[in-house]
Structure 1
Amino acid sequence: MFLDLSKDPFDRQPQGPDLQWTVLIPFFNERDYLPATIESLAQQTTRFTLVLVDNGSTDGSADVAEAFCRAYKLDYLLITERTPGKVAALRAGLAWVRTRWVATCDADTIYPPQYLAAAEAILLRPGHVVAGAYFIAPETDERARIIEARQFLTAARLLPRQCHAGGAGQAFCTRSLRAAGGFDAARWNFVLEDHEVIHRVMRKGRMGYSGELWCTPSPRERDRDSIRWTLFERLLYSAAAPTAGDWFFYTFLARRLQRRRLLSNRIRERQYQHLEGPVLVPSHSLL
């Protein structure tokens, strides 16, 4: 069966007072990592809908993702967004979200069972609209994790108006994310989109963290050019974030990233065919 495009897509998603979360995962050629990510999400103690956005994979990632979603009996939706880049994929996925909260996750990251519950506890704090996770290395023991958490939380307290969490570990109040403009390639189509979107969302409220909100990136080799910002850019971000964030991102940093050609699609690492627009593919668990 195929999705019926003649109806509101959100009418097909499971609804009810206990469904508060959507997990949004964009991916491109991640078939080796998606199974572990989906398995970790299947262990969550909080109910959620999974929205998978295939950004034009050529390695069968979508088939692998759907097979594991079915195996774990997850409520999921799989779409394809062939416009290149993570920002376009996130924008396409966000359009299908109709829950109170949404978590952006990466296809090569492992999430502990309490991940969504920990994010929810932060978002329930008065005035909080976004939650951020810290990252720990695989095989990190409990003592080392606690030390990492203390260091992370100290940095967040010292610099409360900047983002301390990457896109693989962010969770939002959906209404606030949309009110801030969501993910928008017309506004920002560079790398570091996870920091730029937080800059806008924090106009709507606070970003919170906790020692219980963490995740683990999968070990993998990287063969792409560096997509990171320089030490000078990071230091200036820390200074500018509280009062001059617009200038920092849209005047200063955007020009520098443009010169270095660090567009959102540089993350993808491979050639692909450029086809515009979202394309729906069969998804059985939501029918």
Structure 2
Amino acid sequence: MKFSILVPAYNEEQSIASCLNSLIVLPDNKEIIVIDDASTDLTVQTIERFLNRGIILVRRERNGGRAAALNSGLQRSTGDIVVTTDADTVVPPNWLQRFESYFKQQGVVAVGGAYQARNKEKPLANAVSILDQILNGMFKKSVIPNKLSGVNSAIHRSTLLNSGGFNESSWWNEDSELGWKLKEIGKVMYDPDNMVNTTYPDTWTDIWKRKFYWGYAMGLKFKKQVPYNIRLWLRPLLFMALFMSLLAFWVTIPCGINVYLVPGSIFFILLSTLTVFFIPLGMIVMLRNGDREFFKTLSLLAILPVFREFAYTYGMYWGFCNGHREMIKSTWKDELHCRGTKDREKNISV
């Protein structure tokens, strides 16, 4: 079984070397295809230093986004299994072996893996990572309808080609779109123990941006075709119930305790579900990970769930109401790279 590892890259000069160093030491039954999506920094020059170590470089003349870059790599691939990851991600030594064990099972067409913060020294990044580990690891994505993620997934190449490859019009959620499509073809599995380390947002603005546009992309899907999947509705309905119960509580306060007690109780129960519920689970994850910033991260877990779900639900609302891709903005990673470039230029000038 041969693996084709696709790594889309756009302005990743600071992180891609670590990614490639973790990939080239994997077993020999692989090819590593890095797709430069018209970077404007030194990404290509960094990749070129690895060309004599088995790296294949595909260069795109125009920036087309992640899905377009992946399709360019898919056309060049020759493996039985296509594996996707990001240029700011480091993979474990047994990464491909874990994928291979699943594809030996009958009917499996795709396998998704887990991810955690590579920059866990940043409290916000670590807190967001822990939330993802709770939802993706402890619950094995049972409350999330898609088992694939762009940073850590493997798909049968023939199945991927027959299904049309990566959807270039499915902006911000081409991995979810692919996962839903592949579920109609065969088994899509999830391995919570196949963990990669990737860069997480470490500012409130970047966290908001990430969740808002994920929600916006989901809203676009809902506008195009309302899916009959209770797990797709679970998160927005839960947050809407939280918001409506709070509104009802405020409105009925003048009417006395007999009236506002019911909406108030519903609000505090739902709020506890999104906050207090995550704290003991977060403690378990942090103890298992051996986190040092224990109490600082724990305090953030009381705020982050509500903040993220508000951004996600608000994004869904605007995606559904507007239904335009013109609202596309640069990703939080693009802004992170831009800030890093400005910092380096400032240091040079000093």
- TM norm. shorter chain > 0.5: yes
Q: 1:258 to 1:90 in 2, by over 3 A?
A: farther
Q: Deviations over 1:238-284 (max 9, x none)?
A: x9465999xxxxxx997557436454x733737xxxxxxxxxxxxxx
Letter in 2 for 1:80: R
Gaps (5+ residues) in structure 2?
121-128, 233-316, 336-350
Residue pairs, 1:255-274, within 5 angstroms: 258-259=323-324, 261=326, 263=328, 266-267=330-331, 269=334
Distance between the aligned counterparts of 1:220 and 1:244, measured in 2?
Answer: 25
Gaps (5+ residues) in structure 1?
1-18, 246-251, 271-287
> In the TM superposition, what is the alpha-carbon distance from 1:46 to its structure 2 partner?
5.1
Q: Deviations over 1:65-116 (max 9, x none)?
A: 121343xx22524332524211211111111112110101100011001111
Residues 1:20 and 2:2 aligned together:
yes
Q: Is the 8 A contact 1:138 1:218 kept in 2?
A: yes
Residues 1:85 and 2:71 aligned together:
no
Q: 1:253 to 1:167 in 2, by over 3 A?
A: farther
**Which of 210, 213, 229 is residue 194 of structure 2 equivalent to?**
213
Which range moves more in the overlay, 101-110 or 80-89?
A: 80-89
Distance between the aligned counterparts of 2:327 and 2:174, measured in 1?
Answer: 11
Residues 1:109 and 2:95 aligned together:
no
Between the two proteins, what is the percent identity of the paired residues?
Answer: 20
Residues 1:204 and 2:171 aligned together:
no
Q: 1:46 to 1:116 in 2, by over 3 A?
A: farther
Distance between the aligned counterparts of 1:241 and 1:209, measured in 2?
Answer: 22
Matching residue of 2:165: 182
Q: Is the 8 A contact 1:100 1:173 kept in 2?
A: yes
Matching residue of 1:128: 108
* Structure of higher RCO (CA pairs closer than 8 Å, 6+ residues apart): 1
Q: Is the 8 A contact 1:20 1:99 kept in 2?
A: yes
Larger radius of gyration: 2
Matching residue of 2:99: 119
- Aligned CA RMSD, in angstroms, stands at 3.8
Residue pairs, 1:8-157, within 5 angstroms: 20-45=2-27, 47-70=29-52, 73-138=53-118, 152-153=136-137, 155-156=139-140
Letter in 1 for 2:161: R
Q: Deviations over 1:47-70 (max 9, x none)?
A: 311111111101120110121343
Q: Deviations over 1:92-143 (max 9, x none)?
A: 1111112110101100011001111111112222111111011123388xxx
Which range moves more in the overlay, 80-89 or 50-59?
A: 80-89
| DSSP-derived class of the 2:136 partner | helix
Q: 1:81 to 1:21 in 2, by over 3 A?
A: farther
Distance between the aligned counterparts of 2:163 and 2:319, measured in 1?
Answer: 19
Q: 1:155 to 1:69 in 2, by over 3 A?
A: farther
- TM score, norm. by length of structure 1: 0.68
Matching residue of 1:229: 215
Query: What is the total number of aligned residue pairs between the two structures?
Result: 234
- Give the number of the structure whose residues are more often helix, by fraction: 2
- TM score, norm. by length of structure 2: 0.57
Q: Is the 8 A contact 1:110 1:218 kept in 2?
A: no
Q: 1:256 to 1:176 in 2, by over 3 A?
A: farther
Q: 1:89 to 1:148 in 2, by over 3 A?
A: closer
Q: 1:135 to 1:193 in 2, by over 3 A?
A: same
Distance between the aligned counterparts of 1:257 and 1:33, measured in 2?
Answer: 35
Q: Is the 8 A contact 1:25 1:107 kept in 2?
A: yes
Matching residue of 1:6: none
Q: 1:169 to 1:136 in 2, by over 3 A?
A: same
Q: Is the 8 A contact 1:22 1:51 kept in 2?
A: yes
